[in-house]
């Protein structure tokens, strides 16, 4: 290698050093860096394709779910708007319901008197006005079974019933209690009533204990045993009494302050 070649080599090395210092890249490793970049690019493209595929599948599932919900909602509204109370109530109560009489227009709006095949003695009313439907099957069941119930203490249940302008019954019963002992006796009595209904009790019956203006529904769940209902009722009773005590205490303190100010 002659002098000229050495000068060219030295010049090239200086250019390389300047390039590295300026850009932070060693041109001797250019091929290796390019290979890594290519691998990274392939991985990125593959990840992008997978993510894109998953997004398409997710979008497809969302579209199917949306159409399913719209289809269900359409059928629900169709049934309500086209006045099919028998179909709606049969599904709601899982009973075979039959028409006794009806007074409706050509669209099915109006009043119906219906009964259940399992017990034709229970007749109830339905009023339909397009998407609005009022019915009193549960209330009529409660009244029917209460009237059948043979118990010398049934007069302890206070009954309230009203009928609105469309002939729909609202029926409720309660027992007033002031002590834990009265709570226990009341729960036992309500349980006796429920047992007499031949498994026809509905949790939505207005059947409760009353303390002041507050209510306790011992059997708000059909899965409650008598013991669970009693435990729940006592717990709620103690909470209510505690709250009433605090309110009374605050009221007395406020009254004392007012009296001291007036003097």
CA separation for the pair 188, 229 (Å, rounded): 9
Q: Which two tokens stand for residue 96?
A: 């075979």
pLDDT value, residue 236: 95
Residue-wise pLDDT for 109-134, tens only, equals 899 999 999 999 999 999 998 778 99
pTM of the model: 0.66
pLDDT at 32 over 80: no
Residue-wise pLDDT for 215-260, tens only, equals 999 998 877 889 999 999 999 999 999 988 775 666 655 666 666 6
Instruction: Assess contact for 219 and 194: CB atoms under 8 A.
Output: yes
The fraction of the chain above a pLDDT of 90, given in percent, is 52
Residue-wise pLDDT for 39-85, tens only, equals 777 787 888 888 889 999 999 999 999 999 988 877 766 665 566 78
Give the position of tokens 């593959």: 46
- Phi, psi of 56, deg, nearest 5: -65, -45
Instruction: Assess contact for 127 and 168: CB atoms under 8 A.
Output: yes
Report domain extents, the chain. 3-60, 83-133, 136-255
């Amino acid at each position: 290698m002659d002098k000229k070649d050495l000068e060219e080599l030295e010049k090239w090395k200086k250019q390389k050093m300047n390039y590295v210092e300026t850009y932070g890249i060693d041109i001797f490793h250019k091929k290796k860096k390019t290979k890594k970049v290519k691998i990274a690019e392939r991985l990125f493209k593959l990840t992008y394709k997978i993510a894109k595929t998953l997004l398409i599948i997710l979008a497809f599932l969302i579209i199917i779910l949306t159409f399913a919900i719209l289809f269900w909602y359409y059928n629900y509204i169709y049934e309500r708007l086209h006045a099919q109370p028998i179909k709606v109530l049969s599904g709601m109560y899982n009973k075979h319901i039959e028409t006794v009489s009806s007074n409706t227009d050509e669209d099915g709006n109006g009043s119906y008197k219906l009964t259940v095949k399992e017990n034709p003695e229970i007749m109830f009313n339905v009023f339909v006005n397009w998407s609005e439907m009022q019915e009193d099957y549960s209330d009529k069941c409660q009244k029917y079974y209460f009237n059948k119930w043979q118990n010398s203490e049934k007069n302890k249940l206070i009954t309230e019933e009203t009928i609105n302008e469309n002939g729909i019954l609202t029926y409720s019963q309660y027992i007033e209690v002031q002590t834990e002992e009265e709570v226990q006796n009341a729960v036992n009595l309500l349980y006796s009533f429920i047992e007499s209904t031949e498994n026809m009790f509905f949790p939505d019956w207005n059947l409760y204990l009353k303390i002041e203006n507050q209510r306790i529904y011992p059997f708000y769940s059909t899965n409650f045993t008598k013991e669970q209902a009693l435990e729940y009722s006592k717990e709620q009773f103690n909470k209510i009494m505690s709250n009433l005590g605090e309110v009374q205490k605050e009221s007395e303190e406020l009254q004392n302050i007012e009296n001291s100010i007036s003097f």
